[in-house]
Amino acid sequence: MAKERTIVSPVPFPETKPFWEAAAQGKLLLRHCTACGETYFYPRMICPFCFSDKTEWREAAGTGTIYSLSVTRRAEVPYAIAYVTLAEGPTMMTNIVDCDLDAIAIGQKVKLVFKPSEDGQAVPMFTPA
C-alpha cells in the first residue's frame, strides 16, 4: 500500500466547531444565508455576501467539480491541492486523494471523502467520482 501523507490537524475555532464535529460523522457542512440565499465556504457566522447574521448550517451533497489543480510531485508523498466547486455553488480548497495524480484534470467530477489528520480529526477531501 502506498505511503499516506500526514495531514496537519485543523484547529477548530468556536465558529467552526460544528463543522469539524459534522466532519467526524462524515458530513460536510456549508453555511447558508437565509437573508440573501447564498451558500458559502469557509464557514463563518456573518454572510460574506450581504453581512447578515441570519445564517445556518446546511449539509452539502458532497459532489463537485475540479476548478483548479496543483500537483506537487517533489514531496515524500506526492499530493494534489485543488479548488473544488461544490454542487451547492461555493468553491473550497481541498486535496484530491485516492487516485492516480496524473489522471486527474480540471473539470473532472469529484466526490467527498474524509481523511484522518495527525490527531484523528476527519478532514474533508475529494476523490474522482
Is the Cβ of residue 20 or residue 31 nearer to Zn ion in the bound state? 31
Using alpha carbons, select from 75, 77, 115, 109 the residue that is nearest to residue 95: 115
Of the residues 49, 57, 59, 68, which one makes contact with Zn ion according to CB under 5 A: 49
At residue 28's C-alpha, the angle toward residues 27 and 33, to 5°, is 125
The answer to whether 47 contacts Zn ion (rule: CB under 5 A) is: yes
Which CB atom, from 53 or from 76, has the smaller least distance to Zn ion? 53
Work out the angle at residue 114's Cα, subtended by the Cα atoms of residues 72 and 77, and round it to the nearest 5 degrees.
Answer: 25
The number of residues that bind Zn ion (CB under 5 A) is 7
The CA-to-CA distance between both ends of the chain, in Å, stands at 21
Q: Any contact of residue 45 with Zn ion (CB under 5 A)? A: no
The closest alpha carbon to 28, from 90, 117, 118, 119, belongs to: 90
For residue 50, state whether it binds Zn ion (rule: CB under 5 A). Answer: yes
Joined grid coordinates for residue 102: 496524473
Per CB under 5 A, 61 contacts Zn ion: no
Applying CB under 5 A, the span of 13-21, 30-38, 60-68, 100-108 interacting with Zn ion comes to 30-38
Residue 13 interacts with Zn ion (CB under 5 A): yes or no: no
Residue ranges binding Zn ion (CB under 5 A):
33, 35-36, 47, 49-50, 52
